[in-house]
Each structure stands twice: as C-alpha cells, then as structure tokens.
Amino acid sequence: MAEDCILETSGLVKEFRGFVAVNDVNLKVRRGHIHALIGPNGAGKTTCFNLLTKFLEPTRGQIRFNGIDITREAPQKIARRGIVRSFQISAVFPHLTVLENVRIALQRKLGTSFHFWKSDRGLNQLNDRAMELLTAVDLAGYADMVTVEMPYGRKRALEIATTLALDPELMLLDEPTQGMGHEDVHRVMELIKQVSANRTILMVEHNMKVVAGISDTLTVLARGSVLAEGPYAEVAANPLVIEAYMGTEASGLASIPANDDRPPGPLPGEGDDHGSLRSNSGGAG
Ligand SMILES: Nc1ncnc2c1ncn2[C@@H]1O[C@H](COP(=O)(O)OP(=O)(O)O)[C@@H](O)[C@H]1O
Ligand SMILES: [Mg+2]
C-alpha cells in the first residue's frame, strides 16, 4: 500500500538529446527496506539516482517521497525532507581530521541553530555525538587522524558516518563498495545492514555478494527500463535478467564480481556460494 512506500516514481523518463537513458521507470521503494538497483553498464542506474536527488531534471514523469510530489523541488529542499545521498552531499574534507569531518556534518544538520554549537556545552554535545557516529561505523580509533591518511575502505565508512550525521530517512548509496578489497567489502556490507535500522536505503551496487547478502528488494535496469523487480532469489532466476547480463560485453560483466574471488562470468551462477545470483539470502531482515 501507499503508506509502505517511501519513494515512488511513475513514468520517469530522462532523455539526453533524444537518447533515452531512463525509460518509463516505475520504482517503488518500501519503507525500511534495503533496495538495490542493479543492471549492466549503461543501464541508467546513475542517471536514475541523479533524477531522484535532483542533480538532473526528468524529461517526464513524477517522483513522490512520502506521498508528496517532489519532482520539481530543489536538491536542498529534498535533502531537508530526508533524502540524502552519500558522496556529493557528505563529501569529506581530506585535510581535516576524521572527527572534524563528522562534526561539520552535524553542524550542517543543525544549520541555523548555530548558537547551539557556539556554546561550550553545545560543542561538547557535538563532540559526543560525533564520537557516537564514529563508533557506529567502527572508526573511533581513527578520530584524530587526518582524513587523507586513512585507508580507502575506511574513508567510505567515514562518508557513511557523515551521511548518518544528517539523519536521513532515505539514504542513497552509489556503489558503496566500489574499488574495495575483500575485507573492506565485508565491513561496509555489515555497516550498511547495521545503519539500515530505522531507515530506508536505496543503493546502486555491482558486487553480487553484497546485493545477495543484504538487499530486501532488487530492481534490475537494462537499457533504461525496469527488467525485473523482487527479492534476490526471484530476480536471479528470471531468464530476462540472465539474458541481459549475458548479453553485455565482457567489460561490463567484469565489473560485477570484481571484488569476488571467482573469475568474471555470467551472473546467474550455478552453485550455492554467496557470490551466485541464486544464493539464498534468507529474505527480508
Ligand atoms: N549527460 C549525459 N549525456 C548524454 N548521455 C548520457 C549522459 N549521462 C548518461 N548518458 C547515457 O545514458 C546511459 C545510461 O548511463 P548511466 O546512467 O551512467 O548508466 P549506469 O550508471 O547504469 O552505468 C548511457 O548510455 C550513457 O552514455
Ligand atoms: Mg553508473
């Protein structure tokens, strides 16, 4: 029903000079879910994200957040409504410490009520909250490190902390595990699962272990259109999905199990290991 649906698009279209990058997308993101957007390279995932966060204006169609039409609202307005995208909005300052970065994000959230953090008491509260957030993403030990010196995977955890500082109702993550080694992938995956409590997450993710492991629902895009939608096991068995992935060139496929120990290959795997599209993730959490 409508009240279970935090974000909904209807007939969403984005054309670039006649080229249809997003084609009549009807997306329903359920409140409290981890919803993954997947698809071969060029499918329109990033464009879709850019439409949802208003980095791009749709050519046609409608976007509703909590039942409110936000299609023509400005990016800042949408952020204030509780839609926050990791990266752009919470980009970290490399030469400040880890703690300072989280504090700045918290100050941004407090915004106009700056008197709060001008007082000593306010500042202490800010520091306490910043440390809480760092602890939540397992970065307490890095608090005083200059951000640029942190390992890559930890920087992504910091980005998640600065996004959390804004207390988003809907958190958008664009490839949160991109470029990470095995251990970092695992940590960030656990982290996403953990921070998904009391909020909704929509993420573009290439790593099928991550998708299988933590998403409640998947939407598969191909050539701008929705090819399939549903829980992992169902989507993985869909012949259209299998074909869409097999039909892409090797370079496209290579990015999918990039962080996997298995060789690149068609997604729908044969066996029962966690990297396989068929693995049973155990459903909603
Ligand atoms: N600003 C743009 N101008 C023209 N074409 C674009 C633009 N952005 C994306 N496209 C095209 O739209 C399609 C979808 O791109 P994108 O959303 O980046 O796909 P994905 O993120 O799924 O890989 C691609 O064919 C891409 O070349
Ligand atoms: Mg992309």
Distance 74 CA to ligand 1 centre (A): 22
Q: Is the CB of 118 under 6 A from ligand 1?
A: no
> For residue 215, what pLDDT is reported?
96
Q: Is the CB of 269 under 6 A from ligand 1?
A: no
pTM to 2 decimal places: 0.82
Distance 209 CA to ligand 1 centre (A): 25
> For residue 247, what pLDDT is reported?
61
> For residue 17, what pLDDT is reported?
95
> For residue 118, what pLDDT is reported?
65
- CATH architecture of the domain 32-57+77-254 equals 3-Layer(aba) Sandwich (3.40)
What gap in Å lies between CA 107 and CA 97, rounded to an integer?
15
The residues pairing with 171 across neighbouring beta strands, listed in sequence order, are 84, 201
Q: Is the CB of 52 under 6 A from ligand 1?
A: no
Nearest residue (by CA) to ligand 1, atom 24, is 42
> For residue 76, what pLDDT is reported?
86
Q: Is the CB of 259 under 6 A from ligand 1?
A: no
Please check whether residue 228 is in contact with residue 235, taking contact to mean a CB–CB distance below 8 angstroms.
Answer: yes
The CB density around residue 158, as the number of other CB atoms within 10 Å, is 23
What gap in Å lies between CA 270 and CA 117, rounded to an integer?
56
Select from 16, 48, 203, 225 the residue to mutate for testing ligand 1; criterion: most ligand atoms less than 8 Å from CB. 16
Distance 218 CA to ligand 2 centre (A): 16
Domain boundaries, the chain: 32-57+77-254
User: What atom of ligand 1 comes closest to residue 50's alpha carbon?
Assistant: 17
78-95 pLDDT, tens per residue?
988 999 888 654 468 999
Q: Which residues of the chain have pLDDT under 50?
A: 1-2, 89-90, 249-285
Please check whether residue 20 is in contact with residue 13, taking contact to mean a CB–CB distance below 8 angstroms.
Answer: yes
Q: Is the CB of 39 under 6 A from ligand 1?
A: yes
Distance 252 CA to ligand 1 centre (A): 14
